[in-house]
Amino acid sequence: AHLDRIAAVDGAVHAFLHVSDEAALATAADVDVRRAAGEELHPLAGVPIAVKDVVVTQGVPTTAGSRILEGWVPPYDATLVERIKAAGLPILGKTNMDEFAMGSSTEHSAYGNTHNPWDLDRIPGGSGGGSAAAVGAYEAPLAIGTDTGGSIRQPAAVTGTVGVKPTYGSVSRYGLIALASSLDQAGPVTRTVLDSALLHELIGGHDPRDSTSIPEPLPDLVGAARLGAGADLTGVRVGVITELQGEGYQPGVLARFHESLELLQSAGAEIVEVSCPHFTYALAAYYLILPAEASSNLAKFDGMRFGLRVEPTEGPVTAERVMAATRGQGFGDEVKRRIILGTYALSAGYYDAYYGSAQKVRTLIQRDFAAAFERADVLVSPTAPTTAFKLGEKLDDPLAMYLNDVATIPANLAGVPGLSLPSGLSDDGLPVGFQVLAPAKADDRLYRVGAALE
Ligand code: GLN
C-alpha cells in the first residue's frame, strides 16, 4: 500500500531519491512467513520505513543529497539500519535532504526540491525534508532523520509530524555520513509520539563501533509514552524558555504554543518561566562550530575514494588538480560556503577569535540548560519561529535561512534530547510544532509530556 502511495504522490512531493520496491516487498513477505510460523517478532516488524539519504545502506545508493556521491553504493549498513533490518521493517527507500544536511528547506539538495504535502509551493523543512514529507504525505508511516541543528525537529514541525532528536550518544552514529560529529544525532520521524518511542528504542542503545556511544541502556521510552497518554502530568514542572518566544515568532505560532501550555496545565503540570540568557548567542556559535567540523569531515570527498571523480580538461592530471576539479563540480554553493567559513575559522591566528570563542559560548549554553533543569523537569518552546515558507523565499539569503534554527540549535550544542509534535494549525492553515527538551539521558520525559499533548 505504501509503495502504491509513493507511486501515486511522489511525483508531486518528491520525498524519495531512491525507492527499494523489491527489497521492501521481500522483507514484508519474509515477516509474514515468520509471523505465520509463530515466531515472536518486534512490535514494528512489517511496518515500512523511509531512511534519510545521509545514512549508509548496503547495496543501496547513498548520496547525502550531493552530486559528489552520485553513483556511490555503500558496502555496509549503518548500525541503525542493521537494527531496523533485524527487526523486520521493510525499508521503502532513501529520502531527499539538503546536501550533506546543510539547510532548513531541502532546497540545497542536488536532486531537486521536496514539496510540503500541506502546500506544494512550500518547503518541507530541512535538512530532512524528504523524511518528514514522506511521513506527512502518508508515503511512509515511519522515517529516520538526523538532527545536527534541528533537521529532524524543524521538518517535523512544518509538516505536522512528530520528530525526535535523542540525547547525543544514545543512537549510534556509525554509518551516518558525518556533518558535525559533536552535534549529529539520528532519530525518528513519525505520526504519533508512541511510534517515535518504539522506533527510538529500536535504533538506540550502546554501539561499540561509535566511540561517543553511551554504554548504558536507554530509559523506558515506550512506557513513558504510554503513561503520558493518560494525560496526567501532576508534579511535572514545565519551563517556558523566555528567550525562545516573542520577537521573530509568527503570531499564529505563538497562539498555538500558548494553547499547548494551557493543555499541559490542565493535565496537572506546573508552568514556570525560565531564562537561558546565552541562547541568544547559540546561532552564532553554531554557525562557527558546525562549519569548522564540517570542513574537516568533508575533506575525505577528494575524487579518489568515493563517487564522483572529475579530471581537469586541460593541463596535467595531478592528484591536487583532480581534487580541485571534483570538489569544484561536486559540491553545491551552501557546502562550499561552509567549507570556506570553517577552514577560515580554524586557521592559525583566527582559531582563538572564532572557534575558541564559539566553544566557550557552547559551555555557557550548557550551563544555562543545567540551571534551567534545576527549576524544571522539561523545557518547552515553539519548534520553529514560523510555519513553512514558500520555496525560493530564503534561498538567496543564507542568514534568513539560518534564523529558522534559533529554537532547535541550543539542544544540539548541549547534547540534550528534543521532541517536536504538532500543536495545531496557524492562521495560514499550516502546521505548527511544539518543542519539548529534557536533560541528557532523560529522553523518557519527552515522551511522557509529548504523549499527554496528543
Ligand atoms: N538548518 C541547520 C543547518 O543548516 C540544520 C542542520 C542539521 O540539523 N542537519 O545547519
Question: What confidence tens digit (pLDDT) does each residue in 2-14 have?
Answer: 999 999 999 999 9
* Residue 108 or 347, more confident: 108
Pocket residues: Cβ below 6 A from ligand 1: 101-104, 127, 147-151, 179, 290, 405
First to last CA, the chain: 26
* 25 C-alpha to ligand 1 centroid (Å): 33
The whole-number pLDDT of residue 246 equals 81
Q: Is the dihedral of CA 196, 378, 284, 302 positive or negative?
A: negative
In this predicted structure, what is the pLDDT of residue 36? 97
Average pLDDT of span 304-312: 90
Index of the ligand 1 atom closest to the CA of residue 103 = 4
Q: Given ligand 1 and candidates 107, 151, 288, 337, which is best to mutate, with the most ligand atoms within 8 Å of its CB?
A: 151
CB of 92 within 8 A of CB of 6? yes
**What value does the CA radius of gyration of the chain take, rounded to a whole number of Å?**
21
Q: Do residues 187 and 166 make contact, with C-beta atoms less than 8 angstroms apart? A: yes
Q: How confident is the model at residue 230 (pLDDT cuts 50, 70, 90)?
A: confident
Quick: pLDDT tens for 261-289. 999 999 999 999 999 999 999 999 999 99
Q: What integer is the mean pLDDT of 350-372?
A: 95
Helix axes 221-228, 193-203, angle to 10 degrees: 170
Pocket test for ligand 1, best of 52, 66, 95, 104 (most atoms within 8 A of CB): 104
Residues 6+ apart with CB under 8 A from 69: 62, 63, 177, 301, 306, 307, 308
Among candidate residues 14, 253, 42, the one with its CA nearest the CA of residue 132? 14
Ligand 1 atom 6: residue of nearest CA: 149
- For residues 65 and 110, is the Cβ–Cβ distance under 8 A? yes
Segment 12-53, tens digit of pLDDT: 999 999 999 999 999 999 999 999 999 999 999 999 999 999
Report the atom number in ligand 1 closest to the C-alpha of 290.
Answer: 10
List, for residues 136-177, the tens digit of each pLDDT value.
999 999 999 999 999 999 999 999 999 999 999 999 999 999
Residue 234 has pLDDT above 90, yes or no: yes
Give me the pLDDT at residue 410, please. Answer: 98
Q: How far is the CA of 200 from the centre of ligand 1 (A)?
A: 20
Domains of the chain: 2-230+417-453 (3.90.1300.10)
| pTM reported for the whole predicted model | 0.98
Determine contact, residues 80/203, Cβ cutoff 8 Å. yes
Write out pLDDT tens, residues 321-334.
Answer: 999 999 999 999 99
Provide the annotated active-site residues.
52, 127, 151
Quote the distance between the C-alpha of residue 165 and its chain's center.
7
Which residue, chain included where needed, has cell 561536486? Answer: 330
CB 396, CB 378: distance < 8 Å: no
Q: Whose CA is nearest to atom 10 of ligand 1?
A: 102
The residues pairing with 241 across neighbouring beta strands, listed in sequence order, are 274
> Residue 44 Cα, ligand 1 centroid: separation in angstroms?
29
pLDDT in tens, 99-135: 999 999 999 999 999 999 999 999 999 999 999 999 9
Q: How far is the CA of 373 from the centre of ligand 1 (A)?
A: 25
Q: Which atom of ligand 1 is nearest to the CA of 152?
A: 8
pLDDT at 189 over 90: yes
ipTM above 0.95, yes or no: yes
Q: Which of 52, 96, 405, 413 to mutate to test the pocket of ligand 1 (most atoms within 8 A of CB)?
A: 405
Q: What is the mean pLDDT of the chain?
A: 97
Share of the chain above pLDDT 90, in %: 94
pLDDT of residue 293: 97
Q: At 348, is the pLDDT very low, low, confident or very high (cuts 50, 70, 90)?
A: confident
268 conformational bin, left if phi > 0, alpha if psi -120 to 50, beta if neither: left
At 237-258, the pLDDT tens digits run: 999 999 998 888 999 999 999 9
pLDDT at position 351: 86
- pLDDT-derived band at 305 (thresholds 50, 70, 90) equals confident
For 115, residues 6+ apart whose C-beta sits below 8 A from its C-beta are 12, 13, 14, 121, 122, 124, 133, 391
**Which pLDDT tens digit goes with each residue over 376-386?**
999 999 999 99
Paired with 240 in beta bridges are 273, 380
For residue 270, what are the β-bridge partners?
237
